[in-house]
Chains A and B, each alone.
Chain A
Amino acid sequence: MKVSLPKSRVPYLLLFPGFAFLFTFFILPIINLAQTSTQTPVSGGDTGEYEQTFAFSNYVHAFLDNREQFARSFIFAALATIFALTIAYPLAYAIAFKSGKYKNVLLVLVVAPFFTSFLLRTVAWKQILGEEGFLVPTLRNLHLLGQQTTVTSTAFAVVAGMTYNFLPFMTLPLYASLERIDPRTIEAAGDLYANGITTFRKVTVPLSLPGVVAGTLLTFIPAAGDYVNAAILGSPNTKMIGNVIESRYFKIVDYPTAAALSFTLMAAILILVTLYIRKAGTEELV
Chain B
Amino acid sequence: MSVKIKDASVPVIPFKARLSRWFGRNLLRIYMVFGFTYLFIPVAYTFAFSFNDSGKSNLVWKGFTFRNWQNPCGAPEVCTALGNSIKIGFLATLFSTILGTLIAFAIGRYKFKGRSTSNLLIFLPMATPEIVLGASLLSLFLVFKINPGFWPTVIAHVMFCISFVVVTVKARIASLDPRLEQAAMDLYANEIETFRRVTLPLVAPGIAGAALLAFSLSFDDFIITNFNSGTLITFPKFVYVSAARGIPAQANVIGSAMFFLALAIVVAGQLVNRKKSR
Contact with B along A247-268 (1 / 0, CB 8 A): 0010000010011001101100
Closest chain-A Cβ to B37's Cβ sits at a distance in Å of 11
| Contact yes or no, A117 B236, CB < 8 A | yes
Query: For A3, what are the chain B residues with a Cβ–Cβ distance below 8 Å?
Result: none
Q: Select the stretch in B11-19, B66-74, B136-144 that faces chain A.
A: B136-144
Question: Please, which residues of chain A bring their CB within 8 A of the CB of B140?
Answer: 25, 28-29, 32
Contact status B32-A95, CB under 8 Å: yes
Chain B 253-270: CB-based contact to A (< 8 A → 1; otherwise 0): 001101101110011001
For A116, the chain B residues whose CB sits under 8 A away are 42-43, 46, 255-256, 258-259
Q: Is the interface of A mostly helix, strand, loop or mixed?
A: helix
Q: How far is the CA of A263 from the CA of B135 in the complex (A)?
A: 10
How distant is the Cα of A84 from the Cα of B48 in the complex, in angstroms?
Answer: 26
What 6 pairs between A and B have smallest CB-CB spacing? A225-B129, A29-B136, A14-B106, A124-B42, A115-B262, A18-B99
List, in ascending order, chain A residues with CB within 8 A of B131's CB.
225-227, 242, 245-246, 262, 265
Q: In this complex, which of A18, A32, A269 has the most chain B Cβ atoms within 10 angstroms of its Cβ? A: A18
Not counting A118-B222, A226-B131, a sample of 19 additional A-B residue pairs whose C-beta atoms are within 8 angstroms of each other reads A10-B110, A14-B102, A15-B107, A15-B118, A25-B140, A25-B159, A26-B159, A29-B137, A36-B139, A114-B220, A115-B262, A120-B251, A121-B42, A225-B129, A225-B131, A226-B223, A246-B131, A249-B227, A270-B127
Does B75 make an interface contact (CB < 8 A)? no
Q: Is there a chain B Cβ closer than 8 Å to A113's Cβ?
A: yes
List of A residues within 8 angstroms of B100 by Cβ: 18
Number of A-B pairs, beta carbon distance below 8 Å: 248
**Option from B32, B132, B236 in Cβ contact (under 8 Å) with A91:** B32
Q: Is the CB of A90 within 8 A of B112?
A: no
Q: Which of A14, A18, A117, A228 contacts B223 (CB 8 A)?
A: A228
Question: How far does the alpha carbon of A97 sit from the alpha carbon of B270 in the complex, in Å?
Answer: 20
The CA of A30 and the CA of B173, in the complex, are separated in Å by 31
Q: Is A164 an interface residue (CB 8 A)?
A: yes
Known A14-B102, A119-B240, A269-B127; judge A249-B135 contact (CB<8 A).
yes
Chain B contact residues, CB within 8 Å of chain A: 1, 28-29, 31-32, 35-36, 38-43, 45-46, 49, 59-60, 98-100, 102-103, 105-107, 109-110, 112, 115, 118-119, 121-133, 135-140, 142-143, 155-156, 158-159, 162, 166-167, 170, 216, 219-220, 222-223, 226-227, 235-236, 239-240, 243, 247, 251-252, 255-256, 258-259, 261-263, 266-267, 270
Give complex CA distance A123, B119 in Å: 37
Q: List residues of chain B with CB within 8 A of the CB of A15.
A: 102-103, 106-107, 118
A22 x B121 contact (CB < 8 A): yes
Contact A119 B42 (CB under 8 A): no
* CB within 8 Å for A286 and B102 given contacts A123-B243, A228-B223, A269-B127: no
B49 CB to nearest A CB, Å: 8
Let me know if B136 and A22 touch, CB within 8 A.
no
- Contact: B139 with A128, CB < 8 Å? no
Contact partners of B259 in chain A: CB under 8 A:
112-113, 115-116
**A104 (CB) vs chain B CBs: closest residue:** B270
Q: Is A54 an interface residue (CB 8 A)?
A: no
B113 vs chain A, min Cβ distance (A): 9
* Closest-CB distance, B254 to chain A (whole angstroms): 8
Report the minimum CB–CB distance from A253 to chain B (whole Å).
11
